[in-house]
Amino acid sequence: MKFFVDTAEIADIKELAATGLLDGVTTNPSLIAKSGRDFLEVTKEICGIVDGPVSAEVIALDHEGMMREAEILRKIADNVCIKVPLTIDGLKTCKALTSDGTKVNVTLCFSANQALLAAKAGASFISPFIGRHDDNGFDGMDLIRDIRLIYDNYAFETEILAASVRHSVHVLECAKIGADVMTAPPAVIKGLFKHVLTDKGIEGFMADWAKTGQSL
């Protein structure tokens, strides 16, 4: 499973990229606003840090506006992935862009039927929102499971990009189901490294080493 980080904070992206485990980045207007920086400037900097796809979201809601903004965004760098909402105009834009060779991430997916439409429109990625699905009384994992089954039934090439990931259990379950990608905040990804027994093991090794009185 590919790991994307969901942030526009440059320091966090650099830290995770240095591990060699980061495959891409997702952003949205809210994350850009939190960074307090210029939208195009921060997107360009992110694209220079990672080799994989960097999702940059259009603001317009109509097809013509989305296409106009997408033209600006895809000039930023070769690894920009245009992010569009799962609406009729969004899928119309998706079809036009992917037919032209541009990667597209269709976001705000909350049903398997929506995911089916996105795949038929040629989406590079579909972003089902697990956490928000859970918040509204549904099981986000059932959504991932249904999309995986449908995509496998018809050999769709659209990658399932699990979004709105809140904790390590979400990551684990997505990996077990077979999501192609997951995107999560930096804190969630860093939390995957942590385990109490790992910490205790390190403490024990260090204590034993100290007793030897040696150094390297």
DSSP secondary structure letters along 54-122: EEEE----SHHHHHHHHHHHTTT-TTEEEEEESSHHHHHHHHHHHHTT--EEEEEE-SHHHHHHHHHTT
Half-sphere exposure of 124 (CA within 13 A, CB side): 21
- The helix/strand/coil state of 160 is strand
Report pLDDT for 83.
98
pLDDT at position 28, please? 86
Distances (CA, A) of 194 to 61, 98, 107, 167: 41, 39, 30, 12
DSSP helix/strand/coil, 53: coil
- Give catalytic residues, as residue numbers: 83
Other CB atoms within a 10 A radius of the CB of residue 201 amount to: 11
In order of 4, 139, 177, 188, the CA distances from 170 in angstroms are 14, 11, 11, 10
Residue found under tokens 């990667």? 103
Tell me if the pTM is above 0.85. Answer: yes
Give percent of the chain with pLDDT exceeding 90: 91
- Nearest CA-CA partner of 93 in 121, 73, 116: 121
pLDDT digits (tens, 9 = 90+) for 159-182: 999 999 999 999 999 999 999 999
Could you report the per-residue pLDDT of 80-96, keeping only the tens digit for each?
999 999 999 999 999 99
- Cβ atoms 108, 125 nearer than 8 A: no
- CATH architecture of the domain covering 2-212: Alpha-Beta Barrel (3.20)
Handedness of CA 16, 19, 21, 23 (dihedral sign): positive
The domain segmentation of the chain, as residue ranges, is: 2-212
Q: Count the neighbouring beta carbons within 10 Å of the beta carbon of residue 126.
A: 31
19-53 pLDDT tens trace: 999 999 999 888 888 888 899 999 999 999 999 99
Length of the chain: 216
Q: How many CB atoms lie within 10 A of CB 191?
A: 14
Tens of pLDDT, residue by residue over 115-131, are: 999 999 999 999 999 99
How far is the CA of 201 from the CAs of 69, 72, 104, 144, 198, in angstroms? 52, 51, 44, 35, 5
